[in-house]
Protein backbone atom coordinates (compact mmCIF):
# COMPACT_ATOMS: atom_id res chain seq x y z
CA UNK A 1 0.00 0.00 0.00
CA UNK A 2 2.86 2.33 0.89
CA UNK A 3 4.39 1.77 -2.55
CA UNK A 4 1.09 2.41 -4.31
CA UNK A 5 0.62 5.78 -2.59
CA UNK A 6 4.20 6.82 -3.30
CA UNK A 7 3.93 5.86 -6.99
CA UNK A 8 0.68 7.82 -7.38
CA UNK A 9 2.22 10.93 -5.81
CA UNK A 10 5.32 10.68 -7.99
CA UNK A 11 3.12 10.37 -11.10
CA UNK A 12 1.23 13.51 -10.09
CA UNK A 13 4.44 15.51 -9.67
CA UNK A 14 5.82 14.17 -12.97
CA UNK A 15 2.69 15.15 -14.88
CA UNK A 16 2.85 18.65 -13.39
CA UNK A 17 6.48 19.06 -14.45
CA UNK A 18 5.71 17.81 -17.96
CA UNK A 19 2.81 20.20 -18.34
CA UNK A 20 4.84 23.27 -17.41
CA UNK A 21 6.44 23.10 -20.85
CA UNK A 22 3.15 22.84 -22.71
CA UNK A 23 2.52 25.88 -24.89
CA UNK A 24 0.71 24.37 -27.89
CA UNK A 25 -2.79 25.31 -28.92
CA UNK A 26 -4.57 28.59 -29.24
CA UNK A 27 -6.15 30.22 -26.21
CA UNK A 28 -9.18 32.48 -26.43
CA UNK A 29 -11.96 34.00 -24.37
CA UNK A 30 -15.26 32.16 -24.28
CA UNK A 31 -18.98 32.79 -23.98
CA UNK A 32 -21.01 31.30 -21.12
CA UNK A 33 -22.74 28.02 -22.08
CA UNK A 34 -26.21 26.81 -21.10
CA UNK A 35 -26.92 25.09 -17.78
CA UNK A 36 -27.00 21.66 -19.44
CA UNK A 37 -23.54 21.98 -20.97
CA UNK A 38 -20.13 21.07 -19.49
CA UNK A 39 -21.26 18.36 -17.04
CA UNK A 40 -18.89 15.52 -16.17
CA UNK A 41 -18.69 12.31 -14.14
CA UNK A 42 -15.61 10.87 -12.43
CA UNK A 43 -14.66 7.47 -11.03
CA UNK A 44 -11.44 6.85 -9.11
CA UNK A 45 -9.63 4.20 -7.13
CA UNK A 46 -8.45 5.76 -3.86
CA UNK A 47 -5.58 4.88 -1.57
CA UNK A 48 -6.20 6.55 1.81
CA UNK A 49 -4.18 6.94 5.01
CA UNK A 50 -6.11 7.67 8.23
CA UNK A 51 -4.99 9.04 11.57
CA UNK A 52 -7.03 9.65 14.65
CA UNK A 53 -7.64 12.40 17.17
CA UNK A 54 -6.94 9.75 19.86
CA UNK A 55 -3.31 9.34 18.87
CA UNK A 56 -1.27 10.92 21.63
CA UNK A 57 2.00 11.26 19.73
CA UNK A 58 2.83 13.13 16.55
CA UNK A 59 2.63 10.95 13.45
CA UNK A 60 5.82 11.01 11.44
CA UNK A 61 5.47 11.18 7.67
CA UNK A 62 6.91 7.69 7.15
CA UNK A 63 4.30 6.14 9.42
CA UNK A 64 1.43 7.57 7.39
CA UNK A 65 1.83 4.67 4.99
CA UNK A 66 1.82 1.81 7.47
CA UNK A 67 -0.69 -0.87 6.52
CA UNK A 68 -2.60 -0.60 9.81
CA UNK A 69 -3.67 2.96 8.87
CA UNK A 70 -4.08 2.66 5.07
CA UNK A 71 -6.72 1.07 2.87
CA UNK A 72 -8.03 1.08 -0.70
CA UNK A 73 -11.42 2.51 -1.60
CA UNK A 74 -13.10 4.40 -4.40
CA UNK A 75 -14.74 7.73 -5.20
CA UNK A 76 -17.51 8.83 -7.54
CA UNK A 77 -18.32 12.42 -8.53
CA UNK A 78 -20.80 14.38 -10.61
CA UNK A 79 -19.91 17.96 -11.51
CA UNK A 80 -20.33 20.90 -13.83
CA UNK A 81 -18.06 23.67 -15.11
CA UNK A 82 -19.88 27.00 -15.05
CA UNK A 83 -16.91 28.74 -16.69
CA UNK A 84 -13.62 27.28 -17.99
CA UNK A 85 -12.08 28.22 -14.64
CA UNK A 86 -14.84 27.60 -12.06
CA UNK A 87 -16.83 24.44 -11.36
CA UNK A 88 -18.70 22.46 -8.72
CA UNK A 89 -18.80 18.73 -8.04
CA UNK A 90 -20.60 16.45 -5.61
CA UNK A 91 -18.19 13.72 -4.51
CA UNK A 92 -18.82 10.41 -2.72
CA UNK A 93 -15.85 8.62 -1.16
CA UNK A 94 -15.60 5.30 0.72
CA UNK A 95 -15.98 2.64 1.85
CA UNK A 96 -13.08 0.74 3.43
CA UNK A 97 -11.18 2.68 6.04
CA UNK A 98 -9.28 2.43 9.30
CA UNK A 99 -10.12 3.57 12.83
CA UNK A 100 -6.70 3.88 14.44
CA UNK A 101 -7.04 2.14 17.77
CA UNK A 102 -4.03 -0.18 17.45
CA UNK A 103 -1.29 -1.29 15.09
CA UNK A 104 -3.38 -4.29 14.01
CA UNK A 105 -4.87 -3.59 10.58
CA UNK A 106 -7.61 -6.17 11.05
CA UNK A 107 -8.67 -4.64 14.36
CA UNK A 108 -8.59 -1.14 12.86
CA UNK A 109 -10.76 -2.06 9.85
CA UNK A 110 -13.96 -0.03 9.50
CA UNK A 111 -16.39 1.08 6.83
CA UNK A 112 -17.26 4.70 6.14
CA UNK A 113 -18.47 7.15 3.53
CA UNK A 114 -18.19 10.89 2.95
CA UNK A 115 -20.34 13.13 0.76
CA UNK A 116 -19.03 16.60 -0.03
CA UNK A 117 -19.73 19.56 -2.26
CA UNK A 118 -16.48 20.91 -3.70
CA UNK A 119 -15.55 24.10 -5.57
CA UNK A 120 -13.05 23.54 -8.40
CA UNK A 121 -10.62 26.18 -9.71
CA UNK A 122 -9.00 25.34 -13.07
CA UNK A 123 -5.87 27.46 -12.74
CA UNK A 124 -4.61 26.34 -16.17
CA UNK A 125 -7.56 28.07 -17.84
CA UNK A 126 -7.58 30.99 -15.40
CA UNK A 127 -3.90 31.84 -15.87
CA UNK A 128 -3.22 30.80 -19.47
CA UNK A 129 -6.64 31.18 -21.11
CA UNK A 130 -9.05 28.50 -22.26
CA UNK A 131 -7.56 25.94 -24.62
CA UNK A 132 -9.68 22.95 -25.60
CA UNK A 133 -6.58 21.01 -26.75
CA UNK A 134 -4.59 21.52 -23.53
CA UNK A 135 -3.14 18.19 -22.36
CA UNK A 136 -2.88 18.91 -18.64
CA UNK A 137 -5.13 20.92 -16.34
CA UNK A 138 -4.12 21.95 -12.81
CA UNK A 139 -7.24 22.16 -10.61
CA UNK A 140 -7.08 22.97 -6.86
CA UNK A 141 -10.34 22.59 -4.93
CA UNK A 142 -11.93 23.01 -1.52
CA UNK A 143 -15.10 21.51 -0.13
CA UNK A 144 -17.12 20.39 2.83
CA UNK A 145 -19.84 17.97 3.80
CA UNK A 146 -20.88 14.99 5.90
CA UNK A 147 -19.10 11.76 6.82
CA UNK A 148 -20.37 8.60 8.47
CA UNK A 149 -18.55 5.70 10.08
CA UNK A 150 -20.85 2.77 9.31
CA UNK A 151 -19.00 0.37 11.58
CA UNK A 152 -19.61 2.53 14.66
CA UNK A 153 -22.77 4.34 13.47
CA UNK A 154 -21.36 7.83 13.99
CA UNK A 155 -21.64 10.99 11.89
CA UNK A 156 -19.22 13.91 11.55
CA UNK A 157 -18.93 17.09 9.56
CA UNK A 158 -15.71 17.74 7.69
CA UNK A 159 -13.88 19.69 5.01
CA UNK A 160 -11.31 18.86 2.38
CA UNK A 161 -8.71 20.51 0.18
CA UNK A 162 -7.06 18.91 -2.78
CA UNK A 163 -5.38 19.08 -6.14
CA UNK A 164 -6.99 17.46 -9.16
CA UNK A 165 -4.81 16.88 -12.23
CA UNK A 166 -6.56 15.91 -15.46
CA UNK A 167 -4.65 14.63 -18.48
CA UNK A 168 -6.58 14.79 -21.76
CA UNK A 169 -6.95 11.46 -23.58
CA UNK A 170 -9.67 12.51 -26.04
CA UNK A 171 -12.34 15.17 -26.45
CA UNK A 172 -14.54 13.33 -23.93
CA UNK A 173 -12.15 11.41 -21.67
CA UNK A 174 -9.38 12.50 -19.28
CA UNK A 175 -7.15 10.64 -16.83
CA UNK A 176 -7.31 11.85 -13.19
CA UNK A 177 -4.66 12.13 -10.50
CA UNK A 178 -6.25 13.57 -7.34
CA UNK A 179 -4.30 14.28 -4.12
CA UNK A 180 -6.47 15.45 -1.20
CA UNK A 181 -6.58 16.01 2.55
CA UNK A 182 -9.68 15.77 4.77
CA UNK A 183 -10.29 16.91 8.33
CA UNK A 184 -13.36 15.71 10.30
CA UNK A 185 -14.97 15.99 13.69
CA UNK A 186 -13.48 13.55 16.19
CA UNK A 187 -16.45 11.15 15.95
CA UNK A 188 -15.60 10.32 12.32
CA UNK A 189 -13.55 7.25 13.28
CA UNK A 190 -16.19 6.08 15.77
CA UNK A 191 -14.56 7.53 18.89
CA UNK A 192 -14.56 10.85 20.70
CA UNK A 193 -11.98 13.62 20.94
CA UNK A 194 -8.45 12.72 21.88
CA UNK A 195 -4.91 13.96 21.70
CA UNK A 196 -2.92 16.69 20.04
CA UNK A 197 -1.58 15.61 16.65
CA UNK A 198 0.83 18.13 15.12
CA UNK A 199 0.07 17.02 11.55
CA UNK A 200 -3.30 18.79 11.45
CA UNK A 201 -5.97 20.64 13.36
CA UNK A 202 -6.14 19.84 17.06
CA UNK A 203 -8.60 17.15 18.21
CA UNK A 204 -9.84 16.07 14.74
CA UNK A 205 -9.71 12.90 12.66
CA UNK A 206 -7.82 13.20 9.40
CA UNK A 207 -7.26 11.41 6.11
CA UNK A 208 -4.94 11.94 3.16
CA UNK A 209 -5.72 10.22 -0.13
CA UNK A 210 -4.26 9.71 -3.56
CA UNK A 211 -6.78 8.81 -6.27
CA UNK A 212 -6.45 7.75 -9.90
CA UNK A 213 -9.26 7.28 -12.40
CA UNK A 214 -11.08 8.87 -15.30
CA UNK A 215 -13.32 11.83 -16.14
CA UNK A 216 -16.02 11.52 -18.79
CA UNK A 217 -17.53 14.72 -20.15
CA UNK A 218 -21.29 14.66 -20.74
CA UNK A 219 -22.98 16.34 -23.72
CA UNK A 220 -21.43 19.55 -24.97
CA UNK A 221 -18.02 19.71 -23.27
CA UNK A 222 -16.37 22.58 -25.14
CA UNK A 223 -16.73 26.35 -24.91
CA UNK A 224 -17.56 28.64 -27.83
CA UNK A 225 -15.20 31.52 -28.53
CA UNK A 226 -16.75 34.83 -27.56
CA UNK A 227 -17.63 37.38 -30.20
CA UNK A 228 -14.69 39.54 -31.23
CA UNK A 229 -16.22 42.95 -30.54
CA UNK A 230 -13.18 44.81 -31.89
CA UNK A 231 -13.40 42.92 -35.19
CA UNK A 232 -17.12 43.66 -35.47
CA UNK A 233 -16.52 47.34 -34.80
CA UNK A 234 -13.75 47.41 -37.40
CA UNK A 235 -16.03 45.78 -39.97
CA UNK A 236 -18.85 48.21 -39.17
CA UNK A 237 -16.47 51.13 -39.54
CA UNK A 238 -15.31 49.78 -42.91
CA UNK A 239 -18.91 49.64 -44.12
CA UNK A 240 -19.51 53.19 -42.88
CA UNK A 241 -16.38 54.34 -44.70
CA UNK A 242 -17.60 52.60 -47.84
CA UNK A 243 -21.00 54.33 -47.68
CA UNK A 244 -19.35 57.70 -47.12
CA UNK A 245 -17.08 57.17 -50.10
CA UNK A 246 -20.03 56.17 -52.27
CA UNK A 247 -21.80 59.32 -51.15
CA UNK A 248 -18.75 61.32 -52.17
CA UNK A 249 -18.81 59.64 -55.61
CA UNK A 250 -22.50 60.53 -56.00
CA UNK A 251 -21.84 64.13 -55.03
CA UNK A 252 -19.03 64.29 -57.58
CA UNK A 253 -21.36 62.88 -60.23
CA UNK A 254 -24.02 65.42 -59.26
CA UNK A 255 -21.50 68.24 -59.69
CA UNK A 256 -20.55 66.83 -63.11
CA UNK A 257 -24.18 66.68 -64.24
CA UNK A 258 -24.82 70.22 -63.03
CA UNK A 259 -21.77 71.37 -65.00
CA UNK A 260 -23.03 69.59 -68.12
CA UNK A 261 -26.43 71.25 -67.69
CA UNK A 262 -24.79 74.63 -67.35
CA UNK A 263 -22.67 74.02 -70.45
CA UNK A 264 -25.74 72.96 -72.38
CA UNK A 265 -27.32 76.36 -71.76
CA UNK A 266 -24.32 78.15 -73.35
CA UNK A 267 -24.43 79.14 -77.11
CA UNK A 268 -23.38 76.28 -79.34
CA UNK A 269 -19.81 76.70 -80.65
CA UNK A 270 -19.05 76.93 -84.36
CA UNK A 271 -18.92 73.57 -86.15
CA UNK A 272 -15.49 71.96 -86.16
CA UNK A 273 -13.91 68.96 -87.69
CA UNK A 274 -15.15 65.82 -85.92
CA UNK A 275 -12.51 64.29 -83.66
CA UNK A 276 -12.75 60.76 -82.25
CA UNK A 277 -11.98 60.83 -78.54
CA UNK A 278 -11.91 57.90 -76.18
CA UNK A 279 -13.57 58.90 -72.94
CA UNK A 280 -14.99 57.36 -69.78
CA UNK A 281 -18.73 57.78 -69.43
CA UNK A 282 -21.02 57.42 -66.38
CA UNK A 283 -19.87 57.86 -62.82
CA UNK A 284 -17.53 55.21 -61.43
CA UNK A 285 -18.93 52.75 -58.93
CA UNK A 286 -16.80 51.94 -55.89
CA UNK A 287 -16.33 48.52 -54.29
CA UNK A 288 -14.64 48.66 -50.88
CA UNK A 289 -12.22 46.38 -49.03
CA UNK A 290 -10.92 46.02 -45.48
CA UNK A 291 -7.34 46.80 -44.52
CA UNK A 292 -4.82 44.56 -46.31
CA UNK A 293 -7.63 42.42 -47.79
CA UNK A 294 -8.66 41.59 -51.35
CA UNK A 295 -12.05 40.19 -50.34
CA UNK A 296 -15.02 42.47 -51.02
CA UNK A 297 -16.13 43.90 -47.66
CA UNK A 298 -19.84 44.23 -48.46
CA UNK A 299 -21.83 42.44 -51.15
CA UNK A 300 -24.14 45.48 -51.27
CA UNK A 301 -21.50 47.25 -53.35
CA UNK A 302 -22.08 44.74 -56.17
CA UNK A 303 -25.69 45.91 -56.65
CA UNK A 304 -24.45 49.16 -58.18
CA UNK A 305 -21.87 47.23 -60.21
CA UNK A 306 -24.64 45.03 -61.64
CA UNK A 307 -26.57 48.11 -62.79
CA UNK A 308 -23.46 49.51 -64.47
CA UNK A 309 -22.75 46.15 -66.16
CA UNK A 310 -26.30 46.15 -67.56
CA UNK A 311 -25.75 49.60 -69.10
CA UNK A 312 -22.39 48.54 -70.58
CA UNK A 313 -23.98 45.46 -72.14
CA UNK A 314 -26.71 47.56 -73.75
CA UNK A 315 -24.17 50.02 -75.17
CA UNK A 316 -21.74 47.32 -76.27
CA UNK A 317 -19.07 49.15 -74.27
CA UNK A 318 -16.06 47.94 -72.38
CA UNK A 319 -15.61 48.14 -68.62
CA UNK A 320 -12.58 49.54 -66.81
CA UNK A 321 -11.79 48.26 -63.29
CA UNK A 322 -9.16 50.16 -61.30
CA UNK A 323 -7.81 48.82 -58.03
CA UNK A 324 -6.43 51.03 -55.25
CA UNK A 325 -4.81 50.78 -51.82
CA UNK A 326 -4.29 53.49 -49.24
CA UNK A 327 -0.81 54.96 -49.34
CA UNK A 328 -0.39 55.24 -45.58
CA UNK A 329 -0.19 51.48 -44.91
CA UNK A 330 2.08 48.95 -46.58
CA UNK A 331 5.01 49.35 -48.95
CA UNK A 332 4.66 50.58 -52.52
CA UNK A 333 5.19 47.05 -53.90
CA UNK A 334 2.65 45.58 -51.50
CA UNK A 335 0.08 48.25 -52.38
CA UNK A 336 0.59 47.67 -56.09
CA UNK A 337 -0.03 43.93 -55.69
CA UNK A 338 -2.98 44.56 -53.38
CA UNK A 339 -4.60 47.00 -55.80
CA UNK A 340 -4.18 44.46 -58.61
CA UNK A 341 -5.77 41.73 -56.47
CA UNK A 342 -8.69 43.98 -55.60
CA UNK A 343 -9.30 44.78 -59.26
CA UNK A 344 -9.23 41.08 -60.14
CA UNK A 345 -11.64 40.28 -57.30
CA UNK A 346 -14.17 42.68 -58.83
CA UNK A 347 -13.54 41.30 -62.34
CA UNK A 348 -14.43 37.82 -61.10
CA UNK A 349 -17.79 39.13 -59.85
CA UNK A 350 -18.49 40.97 -63.12
CA UNK A 351 -17.79 37.81 -65.14
CA UNK A 352 -20.24 35.96 -62.88
CA UNK A 353 -22.83 38.53 -64.00
CA UNK A 354 -22.41 37.31 -67.58
CA UNK A 355 -20.15 40.05 -68.90
CA UNK A 356 -17.34 38.80 -71.21
CA UNK A 357 -13.87 38.87 -69.65
CA UNK A 358 -12.26 40.06 -72.87
CA UNK A 359 -14.29 43.30 -72.67
CA UNK A 360 -12.90 44.17 -69.22
CA UNK A 361 -9.72 46.17 -68.71
CA UNK A 362 -7.91 46.44 -65.37
CA UNK A 363 -5.52 48.97 -63.89
CA UNK A 364 -3.52 48.58 -60.65
CA UNK A 365 -3.13 52.11 -59.29
CA UNK A 366 -1.22 51.12 -56.14
CA UNK A 367 -1.36 53.17 -52.96
CA UNK A 368 -3.08 56.57 -53.23
CA UNK A 369 -4.44 59.26 -50.93
CA UNK A 370 -6.94 60.89 -53.28
CA UNK A 371 -9.86 60.41 -50.88
CA UNK A 372 -10.13 61.53 -47.27
CA UNK A 373 -10.08 59.84 -44.85
CA UNK A 374 -7.44 57.55 -46.26
CA UNK A 375 -9.52 54.43 -45.55
CA UNK A 376 -11.77 55.41 -48.49
CA UNK A 377 -8.90 54.52 -50.84
CA UNK A 378 -9.14 50.80 -50.02
CA UNK A 379 -11.34 50.17 -53.03
CA UNK A 380 -11.73 49.33 -56.69
CA UNK A 381 -13.72 51.47 -59.10
CA UNK A 382 -15.82 50.19 -61.99
CA UNK A 383 -16.72 52.43 -64.94
CA UNK A 384 -17.87 52.22 -68.56
CA UNK A 385 -15.27 52.93 -71.20
CA UNK A 386 -16.66 54.05 -74.58
CA UNK A 387 -14.97 54.93 -77.87
Could you report the per-residue pLDDT of 320-363, keeping only the tens digit for each? 999 999 998 889 999 999 999 999 999 999 999 999 999 999 99
Query: Which DSSP state fits 376?
Result: G
Alpha-carbon distance 355 to 296, whole Å?
19
In this prediction, residue 10 has a pLDDT band, given cuts at 50, 70 and 90, of very low
Alpha-carbon distance 78 to 46, whole Å?
17
pTM check: above 0.75: no
The pLDDT value recorded for residue 24 is: 37
**Which tens digit of pLDDT belongs to each residue from 19-62?**
333 333 445 566 667 788 899 999 999 999 998 887 766 667 77
End-to-end CA distance of the chain: 96
Q: Spell 302-335 as b/e; 16+ CB within 10 A means b.
A: bebbeebbeebeeeebbbbbbbbbbeebbeeeeb
Pick the most confident of 123-132, 141-150, 229-238. Answer: 141-150
**Which tens digit of pLDDT belongs to each residue from 67-106?**
999 999 999 999 999 999 999 999 999 999 999 888 899 9
**Residue 277 predicted with pLDDT over 60:** no
When pLDDT is averaged across residues 277-299 and rounded to a whole number, the result is 78
The pLDDT value recorded for residue 15 is: 41
The pLDDT value recorded for residue 367 is: 92
Instruction: Calculate the CA 360 to chain-centre distance.
Output: 45
**Which tens digit of pLDDT belongs to each residue from 182-195?**
999 988 998 875 54
The pLDDT value recorded for residue 170 is: 94
The pLDDT value recorded for residue 43 is: 98
The pLDDT value recorded for residue 282 is: 63
**Residue 13 predicted with pLDDT over 60:** no
**Residue 9 predicted with pLDDT over 70:** no
| Sheet with 318-326: strands ordered across | 279-288, 379-386, 318-326, 360-368
| Contact (CB, 8 A) for 49 and 64 | yes
When pLDDT is averaged across residues 2-27 and rounded to a whole number, the result is 43
Q: Which of 319, 299, 317 is nearest to 387 (CA)?
A: 317
| Contact (CB, 8 A) for 385 and 317 | yes
CB within 8 A of 351, min separation 6: which ones? 357, 360
Alpha-carbon distance 35 to 120, whole Å?
17
Of 50-64, 109-123, 221-235, 346-360, minimum mean pLDDT range: 221-235
| Contact (CB, 8 A) for 203 and 221 | no
Q: Which of 117, 116, 126 is nearest to 86 (CA)?
A: 126
Task: Give the helix/strand (H/E) hosting 217.
Answer: strand 205-218
* Burial class of 132 by CB neighbour count within 10 A (0 to 12, 13 to 18, 19+): middle
Neighbours of 2 (CB within 10 A): 15
Classified as helix, coil or strand, 216 is strand
The pLDDT value recorded for residue 179 is: 97
373 preceded by a cis bond (ω within 30 of 0): yes
Amino acid sequence: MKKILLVIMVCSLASAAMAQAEVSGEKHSVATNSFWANWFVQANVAGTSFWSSQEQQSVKFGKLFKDYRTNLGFSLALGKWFTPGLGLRTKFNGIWGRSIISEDKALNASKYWTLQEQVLFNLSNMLMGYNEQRTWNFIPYIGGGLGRNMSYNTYAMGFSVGLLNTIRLSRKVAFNIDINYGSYESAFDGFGAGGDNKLSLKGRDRAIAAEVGFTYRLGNSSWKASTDIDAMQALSQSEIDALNAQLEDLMSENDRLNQELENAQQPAPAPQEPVTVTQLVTAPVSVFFNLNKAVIASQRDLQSVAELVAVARQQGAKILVTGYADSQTGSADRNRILSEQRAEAVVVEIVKMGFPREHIETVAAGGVDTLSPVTYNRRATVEIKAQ
